[in-house]
């Protein structure tokens, strides 16, 4: 199962945009201010964070310029569902295409502030009878890497650590740590490292 398509309407620069995704990895390439970040932000609003702690909320300023009186809408379509997944997401399933779809709509309301989403499911956007199923399709958001070297440094690896903790079991993490420690121990014996260490020590000794 994977995200097949994201339809975005009236959100920032995405007046009416459809983005197609591929199984595995989809790479966005484009100039600065071309709308790549807006698609990512739309995904954050269309799906639930893996840790269930929202850090992104819809704001009236997010509505497309000139369409402030119209609703903003995000429709996520999922494909490649297994038989078990089709049964699990039956309330969102299109039985003809075997695709599941969830729609999130934000409409300006002068009475109810802040703006809250309306969620629907399936090809005809019916009421979402099983919202807990929808929440099981979650995202992990990594903020832009402004300093790649600092972010990847072992002393500041919180982003990668969060993903590992959410997506793997504790015993798998323990096995990984043990194997990593063994690998580092063996790596210390590599001629490149031992020769470099000797040269450095000799320099300081002189």
> Any idea where the domains of the chain sit in the sequence?
2-141, 149-204
Residue partners of 165: CB distance under 8 A and separation at least 6: 173
pLDDT score of 50:
85
Helices (H) and strands (E) in the chain, counts: 7, 9
Task: Report yes or no: 58 and 118 within 8 Å, Cβ to Cβ.
Answer: no
CATH of 2-141, one of 3.30.750.24, 1.10.287.110, 3.40.50.2300, 3.40.50.300: 3.40.50.300
* SS3 assignment, position 190: coil
Phi-psi region of 111 (alpha: psi -120 to 50; beta: other; left: phi over 0): alpha
Q: At what angle do helices 170-187 and 158-167 cross, to 10 degrees?
A: 130
Q: What is the pLDDT of residue 132?
A: 93
How high is the mean pLDDT in each 10-residue block of the chain (206 residues)?
96 93 89 88 92 81 83 95 96 96 86 77 92 92 64 57 80 90 90 86 72
Return the pLDDT at 114: 62
Q: What is the CA 100 to chain-centroid distance, rounded?
A: 18
Residue 198, C-beta contacts closer than 8 angstroms, at least 6 positions apart? none
CA distances 26 to 3, 4, 12, 98, 120, Å, are: 10, 10, 22, 22, 26
Give the whole-angstrom CA distance, residue 47 versus residue 103: 10
Please state, in angstroms and rounded to a whole number, the distance separating the CA atoms of residues 124 and 9.
17
pLDDT at 35: 85
The number of angstroms, rounded, from the C-alpha of 178 to the middle of its chain's C-alpha atoms is 29
List residues bridging with 63 in a β-sheet. 11
Query: What are the phi and psi torsion angles at 12 (to 5°)?
Result: 50, -125
Asked if 188 and 182 touch (Cβ cutoff 8 Å), the reply is no
> How far is the C-alpha of 100 from the C-alpha of 92, rounded, in Å?
5
| Res 23: pLDDT | 92
What is Dmax (Cα atoms) for the chain? 79
- Residue 97's pLDDT is 96
pTM of the model: 0.71
């Amino acid at each position: 199962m994977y995200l097949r398509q994201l339809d975005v309407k009236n959100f920032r620069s995405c007046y009416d945009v459809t983005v197609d995704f591929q199984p595995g990895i989809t790479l966005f390439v484009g100039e600065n201010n071309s709308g790549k970040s807006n698609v990512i932000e739309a995904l954050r609003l269309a799906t639930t964070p893996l840790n269930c702690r929202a850090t992104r909320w819809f704001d009236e300023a997010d509505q497309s310029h000139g369409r402030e009186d119209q609703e903003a809408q995000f429709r996520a379509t999922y494909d490649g569902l297994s038989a078990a997944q089709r049964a699990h997401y039956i309330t969102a399933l299109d039985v003809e295409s075997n695709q599941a779809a969830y729609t999130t709509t934000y409409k300006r309301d002068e009475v109810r502030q802040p703006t809250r989403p309306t969620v629907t499911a399936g090809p005809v956007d019916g009421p979402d009878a099983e919202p807990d199923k929808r929440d099981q399709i979650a995202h992990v958001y990594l903020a832009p890497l402004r300093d790649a070297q600092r972010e990847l440094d072992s002393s500041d690896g919180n982003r990668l650590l969060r993903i590992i903790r959410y997506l793997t079991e504790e015993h798998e993490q323990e096995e990984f740590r043990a194997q990593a420690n063994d690998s580092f121990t063996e790596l210390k014996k590599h001629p490149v490292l031992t020769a470099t260490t000797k040269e450095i020590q000799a320099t300081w000794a002189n």
